[in-house]
């Protein structure tokens, strides 16, 4: 039986988590699918019950900005998937990242953050937090010495993203957790790329795990949401401050959609992983492809570390196209018929994200990534059908 993390007793069977955990079917007519409790408000039967509910809003049903029965099922599942005590769900991944980061810092504090995190995490660090007196240092996360050298006496948080979702640099999570603990610093990781199926940072002593649930957790390209997983104590603090004041909560309906998405999470991850690796291997052999970046390819610089701390790599990889001019990239991308050109990922449909698209935008500067870099996300289609499309587009 597969466990969410095979080495630790506290991790449960993934099948149990995805299909049953957190669901109390006797409470709702033994319905197999949980109800969408689309109610903002909950009535309390007595003053005694009222007092009890207000003593712990996180675990009672008082008001949906705090706790909603449908969202509560989802919280239990994602916490268990990450092997964490508790979790909160937000209306977007960015809201989850912001809540996790804000919960750990105050004016005068400093954050060590991996260079080139997700774009809006970058803006959180560079534009938003400085307004409140919180500074940061970006570091090359592949270099432990650089991380250590960036730590200051006022550093409170080490923010990680491993792998990142464009060029897939990893951090050694056990080493980062050890270093941070030695300095009394909290660690937080954006684990969206690996998903809880393929990587559980809490088992490597990382303190907080965030996800854009928009990606793999939901998996059907129809909900934007985020999660934060951590200890009961830390989650309670985030609940009472960032979640309740900023109020970036998901709707009960969206929570039900994500619960539905989770039923197939393990299947989808394995399918995407297998297909993406196959297609990446095919592209690596192609004369018109300069280089393929995929953590599961032996050619990947941190391949050994990936194998050590992850169980799979999901559906993302990137290629550098062999091209003299940006127009060649444009021709290749425009010839692809079976990949949608779009941001995001983690759904059923395969996607491409050409960096060339970020060039020549009026009023925007030159992007930091080269124009021949193209990210692919491989969804649930037949990989041979996708390879056929790549073959004809590369022939053009």
Ligand X SMILES: *Cc1c(COP(=O)(O)O)cnc(C)c1O
In the set 192, 221, 302, 372, which binds ligand X (CB under 6 A)? 192
Under rule CB under 6 A, residue 93 binds ligand X:
yes
* Residue 349: Cβ-neighbour burial (10 angstroms; 0-12, 13-18, 19+): middle
Least separation in angstroms between CB 391 and ligand X: 28
Among the candidate windows 200-208, 212-220, 236-244, 372-380, which touches ligand X by CB under 6 A?
A: 212-220
Question: Residue for token digits 């991308």?
Answer: 333
| Residue ranges in 233-272 that form contacts with ligand X under rule CB under 6 A | none
Give the distance from CA 269 to its chain's centroid: 13
The smaller minimum CB distance to ligand X, of residues 67 and 94, is found at: 94
Among the candidate windows 91-99, 134-142, 351-359, 378-386, which touches ligand X by CB under 6 A?
A: 91-99
Least separation in angstroms between CB 191 and ligand X: 9
Smallest CA-to-CA distance from 78 within 57, 96, 65 is with 96
In the set 172, 190, 207, 242, which binds ligand X (CB under 6 A)? 190
Return phi, psi of residue 157, to 5°: -140, 135
List residues bridging with 87 in a β-sheet.
229
Least separation in angstroms between CB 95 and ligand X: 7
Smallest CA-to-CA distance from 42 within 25, 20, 57, 23 is with 57
Under rule CB under 6 A, residue 86 binds ligand X:
no
Under rule CB under 6 A, residue 394 binds ligand X:
no
By the 8 A CB rule, do 74 and 91 touch?
A: no
Under rule CB under 6 A, residue 198 binds ligand X:
no
Specify the DSSP element, H or E, that contains 147: helix 144-150
Q: Six-digit token pair at 5? A: 């993390």
The smaller minimum CB distance to ligand X, of residues 68 and 195, is found at: 195
3-state SS class at 20: coil
Site size toward ligand X (CB under 6 A) is 13
Please give the residue whose beta carbon sits closest to ligand X in the complex.
Answer: 93
The smaller minimum CB distance to ligand X, of residues 215 and 294, is found at: 215
| Residue ranges in 2-61 that form contacts with ligand X under rule CB under 6 A | none
Among the candidate windows 86-94, 143-151, 326-334, 371-379, which touches ligand X by CB under 6 A?
A: 86-94
In the set 83, 163, 226, 312, which binds ligand X (CB under 6 A)? 226
CB atoms within 10 A of CB 63: 15
> Cα–Cα distance between 193 and 184 in angstroms, integer?
27
In the set 64, 68, 70, 94, which binds ligand X (CB under 6 A)? 94
Among the candidate windows 2-10, 89-97, 299-307, 333-341, which touches ligand X by CB under 6 A?
A: 89-97
The smaller minimum CB distance to ligand X, of residues 68 and 221, is found at: 221
Under rule CB under 6 A, residue 196 binds ligand X:
no
> Cα–Cα distance between 230 and 210 in angstroms, integer?
9
> Cα–Cα distance between 97 and 86 in angstroms, integer?
16
> Cα–Cα distance between 147 and 394 in angstroms, integer?
40
Under rule CB under 6 A, residue 214 binds ligand X:
yes
> Cα–Cα distance between 272 and 261 in angstroms, integer?
15
Q: Six-digit token pair at 100? A: 């996790």
Residues that bind ligand X (CB under 6 A): 92-94, 97, 118, 165, 190, 192, 212, 214-215, 224, 226
């Amino acid at each position: 039986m597969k466990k969410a993390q095979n080495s630790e007793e506290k991790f449960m069977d993934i099948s149990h988590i995805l299909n049953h955990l957190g669901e109390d079917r006797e409470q709702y007519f033994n319905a197999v699918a949980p109800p969408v409790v689309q109610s903002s408000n909950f009535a309390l039967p007595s003053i005694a019950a009222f007092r009890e509910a207000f003593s712990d809003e996180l675990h009672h049903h008082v008001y949906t900005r705090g706790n909603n029965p449908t969202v509560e099922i989802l919280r239990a599942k994602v916490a268990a998937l990450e092997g964490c005590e508790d979790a909160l769900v937000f209306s977007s991944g960015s809201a989850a990242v912001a809540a996790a980061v804000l919960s750990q810092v105050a004016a005068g504090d400093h954050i060590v953050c991996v260079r080139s995190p997700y774009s809006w995490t970058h803006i959180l660090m560079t534009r938003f937090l400085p307004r409140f007196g919180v500074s940061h240092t970006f570091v090359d996360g592949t270099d432990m010495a650089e991380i250590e050298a960036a730590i200051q006496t006022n550093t409170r948080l080490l923010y990680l993203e491993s792998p990142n979702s464009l060029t897939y640099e990893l951090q050694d999570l056990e080493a980062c957790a050890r270093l941070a603990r030695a300095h009394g610093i909290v660690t937080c990781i954006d684990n969206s790329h690996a998903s809880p199926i393929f990587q559980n940072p809490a088992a490597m002593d990382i303190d907080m795990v965030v996800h854009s649930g928009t990606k793999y957790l939901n998996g059907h390209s129809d909900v934007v949401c985020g999660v934060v997983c951590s200890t009961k104590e830390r989650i309670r603090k985030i609940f009472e401050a960032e979640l309740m004041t900023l109020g970036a909560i998901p709707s009960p309906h969206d929570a039900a959609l994500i619960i539905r998405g989770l039923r197939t999470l393990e299947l989808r991850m394995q399918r995407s992983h297998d297909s993406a690796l196959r297609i990446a291997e095919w592209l690596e052999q192609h004369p018109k492809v300069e280089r393929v970046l995929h953590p599961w390819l032996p050619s990947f610089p941190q391949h050994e570390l990936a194998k050590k701390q992850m169980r799979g790599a999901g559906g993302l990889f990137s290629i550098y196209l062999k091209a003299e001019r940006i127009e060649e990239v444009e021709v290749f991308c425009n010839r692809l018929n079976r990949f949608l050109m779009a941001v995001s990922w983690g759904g059923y449909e395969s996607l491409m994200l050409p960096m060339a698209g970020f060039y020549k935008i009026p009023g925007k500067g030159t992007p930091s990534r080269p124009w021949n870099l193209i990210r692919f996300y491989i969804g649930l289609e037949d990989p041979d059908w996708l390879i056929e499309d790549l073959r004809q587009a590369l022939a053009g």
